[in-house]
Structure 1
Amino acid sequence: MSVFSLSRFELSPASATLVIVVTAVGFGLVPVFVRELQGLGTGPATIALYRYAISVLVLLPFLPRERHKRGKALLLAGAGAVVGLSVIGYLEAISKAPLAAVGVVYMSYPAFAALFALVLLRQALSWRTFAAIGLVLGAAALLLDPATLSPEALAALVWAIPAPIAFGFLIVVLSGMGGDLNPLERAVCTLIGAIAGLLPLALYEGGGSVMPSSFNELWLIVLMGLVTALIPQMMYTIACQKIGPIRTAAAGSFELPTMFLIGWLVFGEAFGLVELVCAVLVLSAILVAPAPAAAPEPASRRRAVQAG
């Protein structure tokens, strides 16, 4: 399949929303690998680097080289670097706080995505936008109870706050500011930016080396890279362009109930009525969130499709 044939792969708003939900399940599996790798002594920056490394290796041939694409490529790489660095606090919080609480903090990103869409894309905030944001934040308010969290957990959650801000920004850049870049080009630019931001910190953590120390660590890295990064990232990058940042953010919030289930089934954390209500609120946000009309396809891409 050629790069340009991806442009022929048409998704309806409903099917694109479903694709984002599926990718959210993949992203929601991150804590399983993070806690396993942390148990082997791997630091958060190194884990984040590992998560993106396989994707970069696979997608590197799709790095855009045309001069007219360089500006957008640098924009996406910058957004990727910001997200990569912010993920460190999120991964650290996973090891020190309940997954439900970490997920609640992270799932505030639809609000930030809406604000960035307003500022960067001049996308009006309709009542459906506010309703979707309110439902997600309502789910967050139900679960984030300081009285039940230790000071260490609260501090970790504070350091996790930059992650949803950065991810909200990335959603807007990916879905509305990529110009002529096709989905694979957008994905590789973002991932290279993340790698560039994380590599110095990972080298510091590893005493100058980022090589896995055992076979057990290696297979966890490969599996994490495929299941939580490469496959869902490609699907996400394609689908988010079909439905815009607001519905993308709302559908991606399905990661929250995924994290609830992971915490309950894998780590024995609580899953009761409150968690169930939160999951329902998030699913309601997905249904309420607006899907703006698709932007006209750039003329250069239409010509490339016809030529391919």
Structure 2
Amino acid sequence: MHVSAEIDRSSAGPLLATLGVIAASVGFGLVPYFARGLTSEGMAAHSIAFYRYAFAATVLLPFIWRARAHWRALMWGVCAGASMGLGWVGYVQAVKVVPVSVAGILYMTYPVFTLLIAWIMFGDRPHFRSVVASLMILLAAAIGPSPGAVTASHIPALLLSLAAPLGFGFGITVLVHRLNALGALARLASASLGAVVGLAPLILATPATALFPGTVSGWWLVAGIAFGSALIPQMLFTVCAPVIGTARTAVAGSFELPTMFLVGWFAFAEPVGLNQWIACAIII
């Protein structure tokens, strides 16, 4: 596929790519709805993460074979996928016990990790505005939780949830700096395969009762998390992110947060207070 090249050659390429990342971010923002529904079915957090990536890995596996000549780039993609898959387990664990808005605000610190990793690993020195934006995101994470929304018992889950923005930040950086030799679908395939490989040891050690949903509605949630919040948004993200670069990708991705707020508000009747909306406005 030459979708990325066609977008890049278009005079409206950066705008279309930015809109594509925003649309993908809305899809990612629906994750708490599916994840909390599946945890209520008794599924383990890592099994939910596994389903999220396994369908994409299966569907797109032939593209890895086609791109086998670029094996170094494929290995970078596998490593990035493993970090994202394992990190995402922490986010699911947090969504189980804390308000979606609180977990979402912490997850949205991933632009900070993205800029730091890009600087340390690839010498992509952040500009002044990017540094200011990162400080604003950290401020939002500090003021976001409402008084009483987070208790001492929530702190371990929230600390573990930081593995998700760390893994996603690494994934964005690798996507921009190391996967340009691959076609869009090969990039997505390598990352999805990496997530599956990274999660496989946890899956093998998990009882069957925690691997599968127990109802028909649970399987619909599996389909939703696999396609509506994973495969389709990931395809958009993978095609569009290299067109607009690291920093702009991180900024456009912030639209995931208000989507999470709305999911928590409408799906789980979690009131979104002034602190959360201020944090959301600062991040966007």
Q: TM-score, normalised by structure 2?
A: 0.92
State whether structure 2 residue 173 is matched by structure 1 residue 175.
Answer: no
Counterparts of 1:96-107 in structure 2 under 5 Å? 96-107=97-108
The 8 Å contact of residues 45 and 205 in structure 1, kept in 2 or not, is answered as no
Using the size of structure 1 for normalisation, the TM-score is 0.85
Cross-structure match for 2:16? 15
Paired with 2:3 and 2:165, the residues of 1 have a C-alpha distance of 32
Matched residue, 2:82? 81
The structure-2 alpha-carbon separation of the partners of 1:37 and 1:179, relative to structure 1 and needing over 3 Å to count, comes to same
Which position in structure 2 is the counterpart of 1:116? 117
Cα shift at 1:206: 2.9
Distance 1:146 1:205, change over 3 A: farther
Q: Counterpart in 1 of 2:50?
A: 49
C-alpha displacement at 1:212, in angstroms?
4.7
Equivalent pair of 1:108/1:140 in contact (CA under 8 Å) = yes
Q: Which residue of 2 aligns with 1:222?
A: 223
The CA deviation string for residues 244-285 of structure 1, in whole angstroms up to 9 with x for no partner, is 1111112112111111111111111122332222222222xx
Judge conservation of contact 2:64–2:189 (CA < 8 Å) in 1: yes
Separation of aligned partners in 1, 2:145 and 2:181: 41
Map 1:64-75 onto structure 2 (within 5 A): 64-75=65-76
Task: Determine the structure 2 residue equivalent to 1:62.
Answer: 63
Aligned equivalents of 1:138, 1:279: Cα separation in 2: 11
**What are the Cα deviations for residues 203-254 of structure 1, in whole angstroms up to 9, with x where unaligned?**
3223498455443322211122111000000000011001111111121121
Task: In structure 1, give the amino acid aligned to 2:73.
Answer: K
Question: Please, which runs of 5 or more residues in structure 1 have no aligned partner?
Answer: 284-308
What is the distance in 1 between the residues matched to 2:28 and 2:110? 14
Give the aligned partner of residue 25 of structure 1: 26
Deviations 1:177-217 (A, max 9, x none): 11411111110000000001112212322349845544332
More off after superposition, 274-283 vs 105-114: 274-283
Matches within 5 A, 1:126-205: 126-144=127-145, 148-205=149-206
* Letter in structure 2 aligned against 1:42: M
* Percent of residue pairs identical: 37
Q: How many residues align?
A: 281
CA distance in 1, matches of 2:213, 2:33: 18
Task: Pick which of 238-247 and 274-283 moved more.
Answer: 274-283
Distance apart, 1:23 and its partner CA: 1.0
Aligned partner of 1:304 in structure 2 is none
Q: Where does structure 2 lack aligned partners over 5 or more consecutive residues?
A: none
1:66 CA displacement: 4.6
Contact 1:203 1:210 in 2 (8 A): no
Question: Would the aligned equivalents of 2:145 and 2:276 in 1 still touch at CA under 8 Å?
Answer: no
- CA spacing shift, 1:5–1:232, aligned 2, 3 Å: closer
1:266 maps to a residue whose letter is A
CA RMSD of aligned residues (A): 2.0
Higher helix share: 2
Could you say what secondary structure the match of 2:205 adopts?
helix
**Which structure is richer in relative contact order (CA contacts within 8 A, separation 6 or more)?**
2
Query: 1:120, 1:35 → 2: CA distance?
Result: 35
What are the residue-to-residue correspondences of 1:276-295 with 2, within 5 Å? 276-283=277-284
Question: 1:13: how far off?
Answer: 2.0
- Deviation by residue 1:89-135 (Cα, 9 ceiling, x = unmatched): 11011001111111121111111100111122211211111122122
- The residue identity in structure 2 corresponding to 1:219 is W
Rg comparison, structure with higher value: 1
The CA distance in 2 between the partners of 1:149 and 1:216, in whole Å, is 30
Kindly indicate whether residue 246 of structure 2 is the aligned counterpart of residue 245 of structure 1: yes
